[in-house]
Structure 1
Amino acid sequence: MSSGEAATFEDLTKDWNRGIMLNSYENTVPQGDFLQFSTTPQRAGNDPPGVSNPSDTETEISTMREKFLTSVTKLVESKSYNSKVFSKEKYFQTIKEVKEAKEKGKKSSRDYRRAAKYDVISVAGTEKLIEAAHRERDRIRYYVHKEELFDILHDTHLNIGHGGRTRMLKELQGKYGNVTKEVIVLYLTLCKQCHQKNPVPKRGLAPKPMPCKDNDSRCQVEILDMQSNADGEFKFILYYQDHVTKFIILRPLKAKQAHEVVSVLLDIFTILGPPSVLESDSGIEFTNQVVNELNEVWPDLKIVLGKSHPGQGQGFLERASRDVKTMLSAWMQSNHSRHWTEGLRFMQVVRNQAFDGSLQQSPYEAMFGCKAKFGLYSSHLPRETVAVLHTEEELEIAEEQLESSLWVRQEERAEVGADRSDMDEDVDPTPLEASEPSTSQAASGLFSW
């Protein structure tokens, strides 16, 4: 594993620096020791230390929402902030004004600017303000009001494993036109898990880059020790990473035995394809046993053991163990669960969809050639519409309504463009008309049209 690769994965778990707020919310997952279940005997119905119960979580979220709304309101009212954030009243007023501007026979310059910036679509009886398409019908970006912001930010933050500012912005900017860095930072300052203050473990020496041979076909396999925090009969985690794409797979293990590891690896190889070289910091003797058994069980397969790198110790294993445990700890607290085995698959998704600077894409995109999607919440449909869908028939109706609404708006836009051209031709260029108030004046310094 290269030094750039190790540093990038460390970015997911680097410590927070509250003194430089904007820079501290890049690509982070909160630092924190894994829940030490062994320090307190577990009894049926008792949560382990650090795992909040549902009622406490609901209270905490409610408090976060109130504080966030207060902070956003202050931000919007700040004269130095040219806000894209709408109040609920302003949001629906803008929808009304955009519709009126499109319906007017004779339009003012302000009407044309409104029509050029916004569109209004109706899906399942709900009107939504969207960014004007300008012929890009495949892209829909919604505008939301400040009362909607918290739930959007909170859901996204949890879905990407307490990802930081940059990761959240990448997730949201494709679907929303007014979710800004500023409001993301306001939300992140309220997340307690993202402010756990624990020392950052010292980094081990990063392995040297490996030469590209045989299409660089190699994988890293590590066995993470979870015996002190066993989840029932599961006491270990198999950590698999493809060298080229950095795509990972996490699986629970009952024991650190070659035959069990081989069984899991065969499942992986028969889906993703086998590598040529298998590397590991989990012990030469054990790794050699795994490689030999793989070749024995699958005669047509030939994998060789990766060469060791003297002086580099178990750097990859230590980093992988720390990072996975930290991510699992955050997941368990968010989901008030005692079972880390249930969180493994979700942490795998979070890690694989995170943007990687050295790849300039996510590991998922590098592996499969497309972005990861999460059902209908990755679609162009509004979130509230998706939330009430239950059948394919309902989905088809919603999609038809969205398509129809987009066609109508595109035709209206073409008409507005033609009207604007006619108006420009009729304008006498000699007399100068009084200019319309600037953006800041027209919108009282809060909204730009």
Structure 2
Amino acid sequence: MAVAYRLTVLGTGYLGATHAACMAELGFEVLGLDVDPEKIASLQRGELPIHEPGLEEMLRRNLANGRLRFTTSYQEAAEFGDVHFVCVGTPQKKGEFAADVSYLDAVVESLAPHLRRECLVVGKSTVPVGTAQRLADKLALLAGPHVELAWNPEFLREGFAVRDTLKPDRLVFGVASERAEKILRDVYTPLGDVPTVVTDFPTAELVKSAANAFLATKISFINAMAEVCEAAHADVKQLSLALSFDERIGGRFLNPGLGFGGGCLPKDIRAFMARAGELGADQALTFLREVDAINMRRRARMVDLARDLVGGSFHTRTVGVLGAAFKPNSDDIRDSPALDVALTIRQEGGAVTVYDPVALNNVRKAHPTLDTADSALTAVRNADVVLLLTEWQEFVDLDPEAIGTVVNTRNIVDGRNALDSEIWRAANWNYRALGRP
């Protein structure tokens, strides 16, 4: 390691816990901070509040070797760290599209008075463009010229966060000086040769928003084609396959289905629209409103397909739901399309039972009256229709004959186009999927 910087990570949610453990894995001394004493105590015991493959083992390994520890003290963090990574959330404001950046302000206001020596504060959170400069000005006012700000957006995918941190496809440094650039290059030297873009604050902030907007648009595009395919009696899976061979388009994020959810993509594109409006550039992003609308229509269409299979009404019908997390390899149920569909069907009178390999604890906390099961077979027992709503490999590998022995009627709606339709139809299932004949 070129320079022995000591790092702090301020905020130990999904992003912060991952960044702290991975930086310790790279050989740095790391101090994680959070204002929640229970969360800190849990992390210090090596227990994660989230499900992320490989992360808990890394956390425990670096706690044991002494490179990683946690605190609730901003004073301790300020005295310890040479580089302070800000990793707090920027949720959507209640009743608005705009992002709530109050947690960022709280971190800066709490940390700045304790910063007595030269250091670099690095924002990693996804923020409305203009936030970095505002925080830089606040830092200068509260801490003085010896403290500098940089912006280094994260590009983590839930379920692949450890890999994305240790083997990123690119790094973006929003900096105002060569010194800040050098520090960031030193910090990330252990990663090896990674494509790096060095730019200004606004561009660095926009990279993450623009990336999310593009991915959301691509997902909603193929789902819009699914709507057309249903009307034309075409097959969106075959359409998607044909499009994927065009190198200009590619096949990633071109999987038709129930659409996107989670704690980032939906709120980030809405915040992007809101900020564009504040800047007077709202017309440039009006297409994102339709992207959002297409995405939400997929959920309603899923309910429609299930309702059709049970005779037009969910009353007196039993529905087995496979999947609650917004995506596989995660226990995140924030804005989950799967959970949204399950709750909608229950509101329409269906007897719904949900199973998910890792998200059940979160489901039970958030929706204690929703029936859950501890296995796929139990969830679909006596079901009049089965819904596959999160494409866990466990569900893709299900034996249609084995499942067929416990259901009431062999009806299935594949909300993720993840199953082999021919195999399921050969097992006498009424197979339906979004955008397919």
TM-score (norm 1): 0.19
Structure 1 or 2, whichever has the larger Rg, is 1
Which structure has more RCO (C-alpha within 8 Å, separation ≥ 6)?
1
Q: TM-score, normalised by structure 2?
A: 0.20
